Amino acid sequence: MKKTFYVLVFSSLILSFSFLSCGPGKKLMSSRARVENLQNDSIQVHGQLNECNTLVKNLKNDKTSLLSEKAALQNENASVESDLKALSAQSKMTIAEQAKRLKSLQEIIQSQKDVMNNLKNSIADALMNYKSDELSVYTKDGNVYVSLQEKLLFKSGSDVVDPKGKEALRFLAQVLNSTKDITVLIEGHTDNIPIKTKLMEDNWDLSTARATSIVRILTKDYGFDSSRITASGRSQFHPVKSNDTLEARASNRRTEIILSPNMKELYNLIYQ
């Protein structure tokens, strides 16, 4: 009986020591696992925090951009409102005012027509002694055209004005010098036959040189205002006929003096 008692006591002691030796190890492992979980949670939280910080930064940038867009829209809106006010003011023009403005436009246009018709008639009278195959005077698009044929002005391939042509220019200059508020464009034209000489490279050279010669005569010899006249060469590219025959090519070899009215008064009334 005693033996059995001692065995039981001994067994209890062994079990107690076993529990004492195993207990602290499990707690340590449990603590380590908990620490590891906390570390993982901390890493995850830090990652989420960084994402939040990035999101906040992006939101701030978006806010700044939206504020800039808002300011731009406000400025644009103010500009539109200003334009609307201006349009509203213009739309308040009464029917009587519109009728008055229209009448003024019609009067100016008619006045310009009268001036140009009178100018055409004066030039035609001044040049009445010249034949129709030498020159013509007509109106087109509100301008007066004086078309001078090559046979009246120049020898073939030359830009030197013949005495007969110079006399015609003198009669023309007398009319032009007595007419204010017009501008003069001198356009040289050729046929499509190529030219190449020591002085002329091609028809561009010839047409421009002829126009320039006439400008010099009108301004230097006959006193026309140099600030109101322009010389240009159009070569063969604006024919009045097809260049298929000798007669057609002769018609294309011409110099056109184009007289245009001063449209400043009309423009001022339209755009005021």
Evaluate if pTM is beyond 0.85.
no
Short-list 90, 177, 171, CA closest to 128? 171
Classified as helix, coil or strand, 192 is: coil
Which of 9-18, 28-37, 193-202 has maximum average pLDDT? 193-202
Pairing state between β 254-261 and 229-233: unpaired
Pairwise CA distance, residues 17 & 23, whole Å: 10
Residue 7 pLDDT class (50, 70, 90 cuts): very low
The predicted-structure confidence for 176-194, as pLDDT tens digits, reads as follows: 999 888 899 999 999 999 9
Predicted pLDDT at 20: 47
Residues 206 and 190: beta-carbon distance below 8 Å: yes
More confident residue, 235 or 62: 235
Helix (H) / strand (E) element for 170: namely helix 163-177
Residue 265 pLDDT class (50, 70, 90 cuts): low
Short-list 115, 229, 233, 113, CA closest to 169? 229
CATH 3.30.1330.10 fits 102-270, yes or no: no
Domain boundaries, the chain: 1-92, 102-270
Predicted pLDDT at 14: 52
Mean pLDDT of 162-188: 94
